[in-house]
Amino acid sequence: MPLLLETINSPADLRQLPRAQLKSLADELRAYVLDSVSKTGGHLSSNLGTVELTVALHYVFNTPEDRLVWDVGHQTYPHKILTGRRERMSSLRQFGGLSGFPRRDESEYDTFGTAHSSTSISAALGMALAAQQKGEDRHAVAIIGDGSMSAGMAFEALNNAGVHDHCKLLVVLNDNDMSISPPVGALNRYLAQLMSGRFYASAKHVGKQVLSVAPPLLQLAKRLEAHAKGMVVPATLFENFGFNYIGPIDGHDLESLIPTLENIKQLMANGAGPQFLHVVTKKGQGYKLAEADPIAYHGPGKFDPAMGLQKSSTPAKQTFTQVFGRWLCDMAEKDKRLVGITPAMREGSGMVEFHQRFPGRYHDVGIAEQHAVTFAAGMACEGLKPVVAIYSTFLQRGYDQLIHDVALQNLPVVFALDRAGLVGADGATHAGAYDIPFLRCIPNMSIACPADENECRKLLTSAFEQDHPVAVRYPRGAGAGVEPEAGLQSLPLGKGEIRREGAGIAILAFGTLLYPALQAAEKLGATVANMRWAKPLDTELLLQVAASHEALVTLEEGAIMGGAGSAVSEALQAAGVTKPLLQLGLKDEFTEHGEPAKLLALQGLDAAGIEAAIITRFGALSRAGNGPHPGLKSVA
């Protein structure tokens, strides 16, 4: 007998199934997700937790006509499988393959591209009101996790949505951080269906009409209703935003989910306004190892489902994240003023040990990057030394606070920017391509670009020693493998060094591309400068190199436009120096997901690409380097 899942090529096929078969389909879908992710790597725990919810949403709503907007989107593998992409799951997060997040250009069922949190309610509200304005009868559903609900943007959207009385918007809160306690069982299933049913809605409407002639009685009735619902559900908050709150219900119980969603759909058809459904799910549902440790199985690489995650027998190279985590603990031990701040990225940013050793100085503010930056500013005002561990791509969300609350007041906040540059399988949504351009233009800011692990530790110390804001940007994963030195030595602010002496052409490297630059320079006979700082720029070294070479090349794993190469060009112009300049970096395009080395090669930022670009631009001059220029001095 063929598997049910093999017969589902679109949600239309799903909606043809008898409801009695949906449980079997969900079981097959969960097994397929587990098998797929074990072969490709990717997000697992979150996807195992949304299987039944995905089935129920596509079963009840007429997708893609009805719009589903998945917040963050790292829980959409079941959605992808049910929407005609089952056979392509083997290409997940690989170059040219399926994205790990929703993408509008990948499928009509991906109604909104997501990957950063807390955007779903805003987008879905925009879709619902657009449909209303165009006279189109469709629903918009935002599926948002409890973590994403901690961000201010989600509440801004709720506040806006609540004033649109006839809006066909449903917000589904996927709560996977609380246990399914007794109130979520049979009694609460009944209450959820009752509160989403016609009788309750009609009685509520009639009651308001009858009591409206006696305002004191109406207010008393509202208080009694809120109190009665509040005994079993946290309704009051969301109803005060203007939503009809329903739940919480078991997000793995299709016999609860489907009737409730059908009732909600009918409520919206009757003009009941925005609805809020609270479902409780379990990360890793159905796979015991992921249930027991959902963090470890959040984003695993390839593994054997029967064996689970196994520790490698060969020690892995130390990652930049680990370098930062160890530096943070060492510096905290030395300086009691240090406080560590993260917007919900404790594990990703390498702060687990710091949290364990210095719990009173560790602050996880939730998915609230804007708050994290201003919170750090407030601490800095009181004489503390905040270190904000944040991914480059997420600092974009706190940009106004960075300018107005930190830089304008010249406060000594260190920003440890993880995932700077390309990030591989997560793709364009997570790439740290823009931090140099958007930081470089801010007065009082400095930007350090360590070339390897040892420099990363030293430049973090340099940043911490300053009395103004400094960002230290470093990539995902490991670098050249240079073992960090013990101690807390620093490097001079705004000073680089010559790493290879040549002639003709000088390559000015910012960050970890120093090492492919050195490889290319060996073939070209070029000089290589490790610039270390994008701001302040080492103009003394720059002008020395410019005076002793025929042409200059800048190299950075960041956006070319406005980046470190632009800083070099501006400095040369300011000094009245005219010199041929080739700027290499990330092109003016969004980089696809794929294996990092392949992506760098496609951008021409591996050793071969650097060499080819220099030869193409400078021709015979690129072969002229046959020894160090006599006027060039090494700068330590």
Residues 431 and 587: their CA atoms lie apart, in Å, by: 13
For the question of residue 311 being annotated catalytic, the response is: no
Q: Is 397 a catalytic residue?
A: yes
Residue 85 to residue 95: CA distance in whole angstroms: 16
What contacts 266, CB < 8 A, 6 or more positions away? 198
Return the half-sphere exposure (C-beta side, CA atoms, 13 A cut-off) of residue 330: 17
Picking from 296, 394, 304, the residue whose alpha carbon sits closest to that of residue 352 is 296
535 part of the active site:
no
C-alpha distances in angstroms, 367 versus 127, 171, 175, 392? 24, 18, 15, 14
Distance CA 318, CA 348 (A): 14
Query: Within its chain, how far is the Cα of 207 from the centroid?
Result: 46
Residue in this structure with the two tokens 């400068």, named with its chain if needed: 529
- Neighbour tally for 436: CB within 10 Å: 33
Tell me how far apart the alpha carbons of residues 48 and 31 are, in angstroms, rounded to a whole number.
Answer: 9
Non-local (6+) Cβ contacts of 106 within 8 A are 85, 98, 99
Q: Are 128 and 134 in contact (CB under 8 A)?
A: no
As a whole number of angstroms, the distance between CA 528 and CA 507 comes to 5
**Per 3-state DSSP, what percentage of the chain is helix, strand, and coil (rounded to 5)?**
45, 15, 40
The answer to whether the bond into 248 is cis (omega within 30° of 0) is yes
Among residues 283, 458, 473, 500, which one is catalytic? 283
Q: How far apart are CA 591 and CA 582, in angstroms?
A: 21
Q: Are 187 and 247 in contact (CB under 8 A)?
A: no
The label of the residue with tokens 């000073």 reads: 495
Gap between the Cα atoms of 313 and 632, Å rounded: 46
Given the residues 397, 440, 473, 532, the one annotated as active site:
397
d(C-alpha 372, C-alpha 364), whole Å: 9
> Pairing between strand 275-280 and 169-175?
parallel
What the block records as the tokens of 318 is 């130390």
Which one is catalytic: 52, 239, 369, 501?
Answer: 369
Show which residues are catalytic.
283, 369, 397
